[in-house]
A and B are shown apart, each in its own frame.
Chain A
Amino acid sequence: MHTSSDTRKKLSQHPIFAKLKSWESFLIFMTAGVFIANSLASPYFLDPWNLSDATFNFTEKAIVALPLALLIICREIDLSIASIIALASVTMGFCAEAGLGTPWIVLAGLTTGALCGAFNGWLVTRFDIPSIVVTIGTMSLFRGLTYVLLGDTALKNYPAEFDFFGQGYVYSVLSFEFSLFMLLAVVFYLLLHRSTFGRRTYAIGNNPTAAFYSGVNVARHKMTLFILVGLFCGIASVMLTSRLGSTRPTIALGWELSIITMVVLGGVNILGGSGSISGVIIAVFLMGLVTFGLGLLNVPGIVMSIIIGAMLIGVIAAPILLKRMRLGAGRA
C-alpha cells in the first residue's frame, strides 16, 4: 500500500501537467503582451465599463466554443453552428410573437438548438458520413429555413424581461452573459479534464476503434456532443437575440469560422485527440483583446482578420518551428 503523498507524487507525473504548462503559458504570455500593448496604445482601454462592453463582442461565440472544443477533440466538427443560432432565434421570435413568456421563449431556443444538433449527430452516426460534409449541408439547410420562415420580416416582440440575457448585469460591470460564460467554462473544464465523459472524449479522439473495443459507446458519445453543441448554440442564440432585441434571418452570419478559429487557436488539434479548455478560454480572451484593442484604434475589421489569420498560423507553427530549432541545435 502507498501513502497518499506517494500516490499524489505519482499522480503529478500525469502528462497533462507538462502539456498544459507549455501551450497555455505560451498563450498567456501572448495575452499579457496584447493587454499591455493595448493599455499603452489607447487611453480608453483600461476602463472597467469598456472592458465589460468588450466582452459582449465575443461571449456568445465563446460559449459555443466550449462544447465545440470537445466535439473537435472527438474528431468531429460542426460548421452549422451559426445557422443553428439563427434558427433557434427564429423559433424564439415566433414564440415571442405568440405572446409566450420569457421562460417559454428560452426553452424554445434551447430545444431548437438541441434538435438541430441531434439532426447533425443522427446524420453523422447513422450514415457514417464525415461531419464536415454533413454540416456543410445543414449549414445551408438551417440558414435556409430561417429565410423560409421569416422572409423579409423581422421578429421583435420580445418581452421586456427577455432583455436581461443579453443586456443585463449581475453585479456592477459584470454582465450576465460574461458571468454565465465563466461559469460554463469552469463546468467544461471539469467535464473535459476531470470527468469520465471527458476521458471518453479523448479516447475516441485518439482512437475511435480502440475506444469502441474498450466498451465506449462511440456513436452515443458523438451524438451527445452534437446535441450539446446544438444546445449551446441555443444558449448563445438566447443571449444574442436578447442583445439585439430582434431576429432576422442573417443573425450570426459567418460566425462558424470565428468560433472554430477560437477553438484551434486555443490549441485544440483540428484532427482530434488533444486540446484543453483552459487553452480555449485563453484564446477567447486573446482574440477578444486583439479585436477590442484594434477596434479602439479604429482599425477596420478586415484588417483585424488578417492579424487573426496570421496569428492562427503563427501560433500553430511556432511550437513546430521551436521544436525543429531545438532538434537542429541538438544535432549540431
Chain B
Amino acid sequence: MLSVRDLTITVGPSGKRIVDALSFDLAAGDMMALVGESGSGKTMAARAILGLLPQPLVTAPQSRILFKDSDLTRLEPKAMRKVRGAEIGMVFQEPMVSLNPAVTIGEQMAEGLRLHHKLAKVEIRDRSLAMLERIRIKEPAKCLAAYPHEFSGGMRQRIMLASVMLLKPRLLIADEPTTALDTLVQRDVLDLMVELTQANGTAVLLISHDLGMVSHYIPNVVVMSEGKAVESGPSSEVLRAPTHDYTRRLLDALPQRSAGGTRGGDCGKPIVEIRDVVIDYPGRNRLFSRTEAKRAVHGVDLTVRRGETLALVGASGSGKTTLGRAIVGLVKPTSGEISFLGAEGLEPADRHGRHREMQIVFQDPYSSLDPRQRIADIIAEPLKLDKSMSAAERERRVEQVFTEVGLSSDFRRRFPHQLSGGQRQRVAIARAIVGRPAFVVADEPVSALDMTVQKQILLLIRELQARHNFACLFVSHDLGAVEQVADRIAVMQDGRIVEIGERDDVIDRPQHPYTRQLLEAAMLIDRRFAETNPLEQAMAR
C-alpha cells in the first residue's frame, strides 16, 4: 500500500541530508516499526510522507512515496488534503504542542469526522465518546468540553491518538505514541491499533524507541541511524540476530537493574519533605459561572532524601506532574506543606539563590525551551546566576554537559525548533544538571530517547549522584528505566500514593493490586525474547 523509495530529505534545496535514500514497503493490514537513534530522521521521514516538513527542510526530487498508486511527492495540494486525515492519519511526537490550546477537545476531535465522513452531530459525539472511553479517559463527556491545558501529558497523547484513529485511516503513522502512557493504557492503545489493522486493513507505521513494545506487537522493523536505514526485516529476525553494529549496540543498551541496588539508606537526611499536600486546579471562568475545581493531588506525604533517586510511577493523569511542579513551586498547594532543605514553601522572593539547588526537567521539553534562544545559551543560562564563574569556565562546563548528554556540539548554535524530539529532551536535561543542583525533578526525562542514549543518561544520573550526592524525583512510565535508576519507588493512582518502598521490594514483591497490574502489563524486553516469538506472544494475549 505504501512504498517509499529513495526518500531523501535535505535542509534547503542543496543542504545537509537529514534522511538519506530511505526505502521501505508497507502492505495493507500490516504493522511496521521505525526504530533508531534519536535524531536519525524518523520523524522527518514520517512527516515527509504527508508533505508536512517544517520550513527549510525539503524532499529531494528523486524521492518517491507511492501510496495507492499515486506519488504523494507530486500530488496537488488539493488532492493531498483528501489524503491527509482520511487516508493517512498521523499522530505527532509532541502531543503537548500539537493540540490547539484555544479549541475544545470535542471540537478538535469532531473536526476530522465532520470533514471526511460527513456525519451528523449526534453521531460524531457518540463516536468521540466511545473512543475516549476506549482509551480510558474518565468522564469523557466533560473531556469534550475541556481545553487541552487541563489535561496531563499522557491524556493529551491519548486524545491525539483518539482523534486520529477515530477517522479509521488507511495508513496510521504514529510517532512515539505511547511515551507518556502507563503500561496499562499503553497496552490498551496498542490493542486498539491491532484491532484497527485487523478490522479495517489499516496499515500502521509506528515510530518508537521501545524495543519491548516493538518486539511484542510489530512484525516488521526498519532500523535507522544517521538518516539511513541500516537494517530491516521481520522484528523477530532483526532483534534476534542483529547484523548491523548500531542494532547490536541498541540491544546491548537494554535496561538492566543497576547493580548498586539500594543505596537509599546510607545518605540520610531528607532534602524534600511533602506533608499532606492537596492540590486543586481552579475551574475555568465562564461568562456567568465557573466550571468546578478539579482535585489533582489528594493528600500526599513523601520524602526524598539526599543522594537518592525516588521514582514516581503511576497511572497517566494521576497527578505526578502536578506534584513535581508543586515541589519546585510552580503550583501552589491548596493545603499541606512542602519543605526543601528544611525550609518551608517556596515563595518567589526566596527562590532566587536557594532555587538554584532545585531544577526541573519538564515533561514537554519543546515548550519549556525559549524559541528565541540558541541551544548553547539555553544550557548556559543557569550558570549565569553564579557570578563567581568566569565565561571560560562556563564555556567549558557547557561543552562538558553537551558530551555528557550525548549532544554533538554542532547543535550549539541551533534553535529548539531545529532539533529532533530526543535532542530537545537532552537539552532540557542538560539545562537541569549543568549547575549541579542538589535536587532535580525529572518528569519523563528519557521518554523520547532511544535505548543507547537512554542508557547513557541513566548512567549519568547515577554517576552524578555518586559524585555530587544529588537527589532526584524521577517521574516515569518506563518501568525498565525506573528499574535501572531508582533507589525507591512510589506508585501513584488518582492523586494518592498507593505504595512506596525500596526498589526491589516494589518490583519483586508488589503489595498494592494496582502496582501488580502495572508490572504485569509492562512489556519489558528481556534477554529471553530471542527464544520466544514475539508475535505469538502478542496473539496469545
- A and B together in one complex: no
